[in-house]
Amino acid sequence: MIFGDFLKALGQLSDPRFRRVMLLGVLLSIALLVGIYAAFLALIQWATPESIDIPFVGPVSGLGTLLSWGSALFMIGLSVFLMVPVASAFTGLFLEDVAQAVEDRHYPGQPHVARVPFVDSLVETVNFFALLVGVNVLALVLYGFAGPFIPVVFWVVNGFLLGREYFTMVATRRLGRAGAKALRRRYAAQVWIAGSLMAAPLSLPLINLLIPVLGAATFTHLFHRLHAQDQKKAR
């Protein structure tokens, strides 16, 4: 069922509104990653002396350049972890557009909902970004004991957070925050699995730039499916 939700989201890539949000999210994510790398590079250059004296060898220069090249490889690896909060934070700002595009095509009978004010969306995004960063910093302790299972721990931890936040944001549009939380709790396992399936490709460079928008669309389908299922049970 979850894969069916994803395939529906994938099938909407031809939608101009979908492509616009995806392109904007990708460009903003790349811009922020470049900005983080530029700051990291400037810190290296500032902290590295122009040359050092090595006994029996003499002064050796070019350390800053050498470390700068090494930092590029470091940042490529670090981007695997950075892309979860970076891409997800930007997509949170545009989730409304993605959800509306999905509903216009697949759920045309749904009543119109008022757009969430930009300030509220921004506050929600900042809070989610801080939560993701904070939990992943704490998870570094777990990574030290996980050994070869570090990717699994990464996917499970971030899958819980992504599933919780994306589903709540999508469901809140239709049910309000209290109703969204209640529905999420009733289907917690499915939401967690969907979040983990979203977190896994987020750890793949380049591909991870496309996943947040597809994830937002997938969770929109997941919400409508679970909400319809919930209503049938209530009858």
Instruction: Give the pLDDT confidence of 215-231 residue by residue, as tens digits.
Output: 889 999 999 999 999 88
Question: What pLDDT is stored for residue 80 in this prediction?
Answer: 65
3-state SS assignment for residue 186: helix
What is d(CA 85, CA 181) in angstroms, rounded to the nearest whole number?
22
What is d(CA 54, CA 98) in angstroms, rounded to the nearest whole number?
58
Residue 107 pLDDT level (bands cut at 50, 70, 90): very high
Of 28, 4, 234, the closest CA to residue 129 belongs to: 28
CA contacts within 13 A on the Cβ side of 5: 24
User: By residue range, what is the domain housing residue 24?
Assistant: 2-234
What is d(CA 66, CA 58) in angstroms, rounded to the nearest whole number?
18
Report pLDDT digits (tens) over 8-46.
998 888 888 888 888 887 787 777 777 776 776 676 566
Instruction: List the structure tokens of 190.
Output: 């499915």
Element (H, E) at 59: strand 58-61
Q: Is the confidence at residue 63, as pLDDT, over 70?
A: no
Contact by Cβ (8 Å): 13, 19: yes
Contact by Cβ (8 Å): 213, 98: yes
Q: What stretches of 11-149 show up as alpha helix (H) in DSSP?
A: 16-47, 63-106, 118-146
Question: What pLDDT is stored for residue 48 in this prediction?
Answer: 54
How many domains does the chain contain in total?
Answer: 1
Report pLDDT digits (tens) over 130-166.
787 788 777 777 777 878 888 888 888 889 988 988 8
Question: What pLDDT is stored for residue 191 in this prediction?
Answer: 95
Question: Average pLDDT over the chain, rounded to whole?
Answer: 78
Higher pLDDT, 35 or 79: 35
Q: Is the confidence at residue 54, as pLDDT, over 50?
A: no
Q: What is the DSSP letter of 53?
A: E
Question: What pLDDT is stored for residue 44 in this prediction?
Answer: 59
Beta-ladder partners of 54: 58
3-state SS assignment for residue 56: coil
Q: What is the mean pLDDT of residues 119-139?
A: 77
Question: What pLDDT is stored for residue 207 in this prediction?
Answer: 77
Question: What pLDDT is stored for residue 90 in this prediction?
Answer: 66
